[in-house]
Amino acid sequence: MPTLPVLPDAEQLVDQLVEQLRPRVHANTAMVGIVTGGAWLAERLHKRLAISAPLGLIDISFYRDDYSSSGLKASVKPSHIPFDVNGRDLLLVDDVLYTGRTTRAALNELFDYGRPRSVQLVVLADRDERQLPIAAQFAGAVIQVPLGQSLELHRDAQGRFEFALQARIDVGNSQPAGAP
């Protein structure tokens, strides 16, 4: 039986991200969190970094490349970006970077709002199994996840974060491109 990886303390990773990001935050910085786990993380980072622009939230459901085959989720929330994106240095925040498809969808939607000066990707965990040429500029940790498992961020009633491994329902899609 394969041994499961020891998952890092998500709260410690948040602290590390704050320290990585603090020198990069300036008056022109804005933050956008990807619903759901990325929005949770962005709320925490936005507050701790005292970013002056209001926090933006983005739900990429309509921009997913599998929208036509998987349909619309029941919990779609409208995106809310309460600042002018044009010319901003954006921190795009997600909980787990896996294939890169969520990030691609988020970038597509962001550019519907305008043309930022720059976009940097911030993630709590990078699974390092990309299907698209997308990389995080800031990552709390790189975590190897067993085939057939997904890495999920959970938030308890007190707002504390914790990682958990879950069995994937769509195991066929979890293999890297070109895998048998």
Tell me the average pLDDT across 14-39: 97
Q: Is 173 part of any domain?
A: no
Q: Are 172 and 144 in contact (CB under 8 A)?
A: no
Total number of domains constituting the chain: 1
Q: Is 141 part of any domain?
A: yes
Q: Is 92 part of any domain?
A: yes
pTM above 0.85?
A: yes
- With 50 as the cut, is the pLDDT of residue 131 above it? yes
Q: Is 126 part of any domain?
A: yes
Q: Is 156 part of any domain?
A: yes
Q: Which amino acid is at 141?
A: A
Residue reference for tokens 């989720």 = 73
- With 70 as the cut, is the pLDDT of residue 78 above it? yes
CATH code of 134's domain: 3.40.50.2020
